[in-house]
Structure 1
Amino acid sequence: MKTVLCYGDSLTWGYDAETGGRHALEDRWPSVLQTALGNGVQVIAEGLNGRTTAYDDHLADCDRNGVRILPTILQTHAPVDLVIFLLGANDMKPVVHGTAFGAVKGIERLVRLVWHHSWPGVQAEAPEILIVAPPVISQTANANFAAMFAGGVEQSSMMASLYADLADELGCGFFDAGSVAKTTPLDGVHLDPENTRAIGRGLEPMVRMMLGL
């Protein structure tokens, strides 16, 4: 049995911009990926609304700093064959960091944490890592989200190329979620059911290759 850990934010959790609730389980991209890969693979969805790559969000009522939480998550789910990082959109908030460069440095920190983690005995070596760039933030008439992600449209448009360069430098896999999915104009950040399903479908070939399936 292969294990895939999907470490992400609200795009992985399945936030529904239309209702403010959560997409049906079968519509969330980790579930779609699980169905596509079949019973020989366990896909674990570790999504948290507002999670950043490596930065504190002092307005949150939980710890959204992805770096601080990751070691515990790795220890919880070991052994892991592949870690998928789909993070960075929340780094675009000016109160968090506000730049694509900041998101890339955060992703690099997460990758190195996986490499150097003190894995339990059941994990012989560090897992493969797949870096996924989130879809570009879009313009929205939602005043709250527009203010929360001020400057995010321009900055997020740089993430895919920067993430691709980082993945190449570090020897990680790379996938641009924006190549198959677009954010909804309802809030400019999240995905409707079809677009979150599209990420799961789009990731399948890359995940199969990285797992040797």
Structure 2
Amino acid sequence: MKTVLCYGDSLTWGYSAEGPARHAHEDRWPNVLQASLGQSVQVIAEGLNGRTTAFDDHLASSDRNGARVLPTLLVTHAPLDLVIIMLGSNDMKPFVCGRAVGAVQGMRRLVDIVRGTAYPLEQEPPEILLVAPPPLCETADPDFAAMFEGMIGESRMLASLYSDLADDTGCGFFDAGSVAPTTPLDGVHLDAKSTRAVGKALEPIVRMMLGL
């Protein structure tokens, strides 16, 4: 059986701006991917609201720094065949990073961690698929509008920068914004249709990378 780790933030956790609430189990993109791939693949969802690529954000009780938490999760779930990383939206917060170039450097650090971890049983490092989150959009929600003020343009740069990073590091790449727009309810998250679309769109790429 192949094992895939989906490492992300609230878009992977399944945050719904309606409510707010959490999307139904069957609507979250890692679970849609699991259903599409079938029982020959185990898809593990590791999503945390507010997670960044590699930056500290002390506004929650949980550790949101993706670079600090990732090594433990890689060993916890080993052996792994593929790690899918979709992060960067929270890096756009001005008080966290506020620059697309910072997010891409954070993603590069995550690639280095995946490839440099000492895995149990002398396992080889897994393949890596970098996923650019959909760009932010305008919203009338005052809290989210203030939290990501002025960052729509920076967020639109992520797909191009992540694509270049994938080419440079030999990773796979997918632009989630090509199939899933963010909802104007809060300008950041995905509605149920969009999160399902991400899972469906990833299926052929994952199959190819796993050799299925």
Give the alignment's TM-score, normalised by structure 1: 0.99
How far residue 60 of structure 1 moved from its aligned partner, in angstroms, is 1.6
Find the counterpart in structure 2 of residue 118 from structure 1. Answer: 118
Find the counterpart in structure 2 of residue 160 from structure 1. Answer: 159
Matched, 1:188 2:210: no
The amino acid that maps onto 1:113 is I
Aligned pairs for 1:129-208 within 5 A: 129-208=128-207
Matched, 1:101 2:116: no
How far residue 124 of structure 1 moved from its aligned partner, in angstroms, is 2.2
Distance 1:162 1:212 in 2: 27
Distance 1:163 1:106 in 2: 11
Structure 1 segments (4+ residues) deviating >4 Å: none
1:144-194 CA deviation, whole Å, 9 max, x = no partner?
101101122110000000000000000000000000000000000000000
The amino acid that maps onto 1:22 is R
How many residue pairs were aligned?
212
Find the counterpart in structure 1 of residue 62 from structure 2. Answer: 62
Indicate the SS of the match to 2:209.
Answer: helix
1:16-57 CA deviation, whole Å, 9 max, x = no partner?
101111000000000000000000000000000000000000
Indicate the SS of the match to 1:131.
Answer: strand
Identity of aligned residues (%): 69
The amino acid that maps onto 1:8 is G
Distance 1:10 1:35 in 2: 20
Indicate the SS of the match to 2:182.
Answer: coil
1:59-106 CA deviation, whole Å, 9 max, x = no partner?
122100000000110011000000000000000000100010000000
The amino acid that maps onto 1:32 is V
1:178-211 CA deviation, whole Å, 9 max, x = no partner?
0000000000000000000000001001000000
Matched, 1:32 2:32: yes
Distance 1:107 1:60 in 2: 22
The amino acid that maps onto 2:180 is A
The amino acid that maps onto 1:204 is E
Indicate the SS of the match to 1:112.
Answer: helix
1:106-153 CA deviation, whole Å, 9 max, x = no partner?
0000000010001111x5200000000000100000111011011221
Indicate the SS of the match to 1:135.
Answer: coil
Structure 2: gaps of 5 or more residues: none
The amino acid that maps onto 1:162 is L
Indicate the SS of the match to 1:204.
Answer: helix
